[in-house]
Amino acid sequence: MIVVDRIATMQALMRQYRREGKTIGFVPTMGYLHDGHAALIDRAREENDIVVLSIFVNPLQFGPNEDFARYPRDFERDRRIAGQHGVDVLFHPEVDEMYPAPLSVQAVVKARTDVLCGRSRPGHFDGVATVLIKLFNIVMPDRAYFGMKDAQQVAVVAGLIRDFNFPIELVPVPTVRETDGLAKSSRNVYLSPQERKEAPALYEALKAAAAAVDRGERNAEAIRRLVREHIEAHTHAEIDYVEVCSYPDLTPLSALAGTVLIAVAVRFAGARLIDNIMVELPAADRRGE
């Protein structure tokens, strides 16, 4: 595995691979790798000649009161995991390498950001889009791999690739979970033992919502109420949002139809957690209106 920390070196290496006709799969991360990241890497390994993993904690996507300084970092551990899963190139730049001067141009995401995490984290997806534009131009991948745990991010990236004509295939990968259902996340290490016991209630609530849909419930407010009540009854977390949206355009729904995302975010004392579940319904199914 090659470890690179300079943009110019990375671009030269990627151009070499492309001249050799090799396909490049890219997994962008902020590090502190877990099984969810490993699933992305493994999928990229199956589908590409070269697998590139980036580890970069991007300051642009953190708000002033968020956890950039204390975001978990352990590069040696990440390097070991990357090697075990067959990463060919590990790109690990410093902040000064990625942002050597104040930006003269920065991306502004205009759609799919006024709901879910975008509502309570203004500017977050602008920072995500800006760093991805840079990373896509540095790595020049054929495919980019993102986890569906952050379904809003996947939707935003899909719009970014489409609008800026990146010749990249977006590959969404299903959420990887602990045995008790909690979605794998780098931030799970922040949870206290009691919070960790309570956290699986998020997925339990989402599964209960999906079961209600299977039984015929189509009223979005009833679904939101079911999820909220389950979380309130089984955790001490503060609910940030419970939303029912169309996917991938993320339009809030009053009645369920088509591809529907049921998503939740909560704040424990130690961490903010997100999760979601997707349900598929006929587009013309309007029961519940």
Known binding-site positions for ATP? 30-37, 147-150, 176, 184-187
Gap between the Cα atoms of 253 and 61, Å rounded:
27
The separation between CA 257 and the C-alpha centre of its own chain, rounded to angstroms, equals 24
Asked if 258 and 220 touch (Cβ cutoff 8 Å), the reply is no
Q: Which residues are annotated as a binding site for (R)-pantoate?
A: 61, 153
Query: Cis before residue 28, ω within 30 degrees of 0?
Result: no
Q: Which residues are annotated as a binding site?
A: 30-37, 61, 147-150, 153, 176, 184-187
Determine whether 37 is an active site residue: yes
Pairing of β 259-267 and β 143-147: unpaired
Backbone angles phi, psi at 248, to 5 degrees: -100, 5
Torsion-angle region of 71 (φ positive above 0: left; ψ -120 to 50: alpha; else: beta): beta
Q: Which residues are annotated as a binding site for beta-alanine?
A: 61
- The single residue of 37, 85, 124, 230 carrying the catalytic annotation is 37
Gap between the Cα atoms of 109 and 161, Å rounded:
12
Active site residues: 37
